[in-house]
Amino acid sequence: MNPLVELQAYGQSFWYDNIRRKFLNDGTLQNLIDEDGLRGMTSNPSIFEKAIGQSDDYDEQIKQEVQAGKDV
* CA 5 from centre of chain: 19
Separation CA 38–CA 40 (nearest Å): 6
Say what the pLDDT of residue 14 is: 92
Q: What is the pLDDT of residue 51?
A: 86
Residues of the chain with pLDDT under 50: none
Look at residue 25 in the predicted model and tell me its pLDDT.
Answer: 92
What does the pLDDT read at residue 20?
A: 87
Neighbours of 20 (CB within 10 A): 19
pLDDT for 8: 94
Distance CA 61, CA 71 (A): 12
pTM: 0.73
Contacts (Cβ under 8 Å, ≥6 apart) of 38:
4, 14, 15, 16, 29, 32
- Residue 72's pLDDT is 66
